[in-house]
Structure 1
């Protein structure tokens, strides 16, 4: 390699961990919205809990000029009813967010109403053949196809629990 090439011009050959190039790609995008690296978006369910995260999505953090504290977190909320509940939970959510960052990064929430993007459901693990046969035997007498499908989902969920 010639001496005039910089580190950015170097190419990587062979296998590279996916997290390295993905982080380099997403950092500028998340940075424009005030999220350093996007970890807050990924960890949103862990920060605010499953119930709140199922109706909300963080959009951006806006900080006062030349500051990195006392920001405003914009959150998209799925419906007005939950927005009202979110206003009551604001002090608790702010505590959790600031605890996540380790400093007083966010001072207030700004709510935006709108539909949330669809979230993919994790695929159910296949049942063992013995459990599959047992579930089929239990459902063979159910004639209504909608009821059968609902009971099958419930049965798979229960059978998958350790």
Structure 2
């Protein structure tokens, strides 16, 4: 009799995350979901030169503790003189990180100055469009009221259009 095999395929990222998440949670208090979502959480302004390092949760003192949840401190690594900019935006980052978690998980942000390597190694170059392609895409998206949504769809459209152009070559 043959051993039965699962018919469903798993993505390698899901398998890797299931192995890495317990280690990250134990050592740094964070998950791969937070690391992967950091560019959306921090925004284009801060994501390139910052990275979440760890979340320090307050220690419980046994009898003195009321048993309630206490928010933690998020440590963010940041490059060079940009620490100042990130420090000024820490209230907004706290709000965004808590929005990501869906509850008040972070109370404070601690910024440490150190070199930051991009997550995931080498990134693809940003897609470039010709001026006519850019005008065409902007015309298609003119009806979208939300500036953030329009920019996101513009980035997506630029990526799709440049990918199609590169495949035709």
Q: Give TM class, smaller chain.
A: 0.5 to 0.7
Are 1:40 and 2:61 matched, yes or no?
no
TM-score of the pair, normalised by structure 2: 0.60
Q: TM-score by structure 1 length?
A: 0.62
Q: Secondary structure at the match of 1:43?
A: helix
Structure exhibiting the larger radius of gyration computed from Cα positions: 1
Structure 1 counterpart SS, 2:95: helix
Aligned residues: 122
1:24 corresponds, among 18, 33, 36, to: 18
CA 1:11/1:104 → structure 2, altered by over 3 Å: closer, same or farther? Answer: farther
Superposed counterparts of 1:12-161, under 5 Å: 16-18=9-11, 19-32=13-26, 33-35=28-30, 37-66=31-60, 69-79=70-80, 81-118=81-118, 119-122=121-124, 160=162
CA drift at 1:117:
1.5
Take 1:11 and 1:71, find their aligned partners in 2: how far apart are those partners?
Answer: 45
CA distance change for structure 1 residues 11 and 47 in 2, over 3 Å: closer, same or farther? farther
- Structure 1 segments unaligned to the other structure (5+ residues): 2-9, 128-156
| Superposed CA offset, 1:63-83 (max 9, x none) | 11247542000111111x211
CA gap of 1:93–1:124, structure 2 versus 1, over 3 A, is closer
The DSSP-based 3-state class of the residue aligned with 1:49 is helix
Q: Deviations over 1:20-79 (max 9, x none)?
A: 4223211222212111x4100000000110110111010000111247542000111111
Residues in 2 aligned to 1:11 and 1:74: alpha-carbon distance in whole angstroms: 46
Gapped runs of 5+ residues in structure 2? Answer: 61-67, 130-158
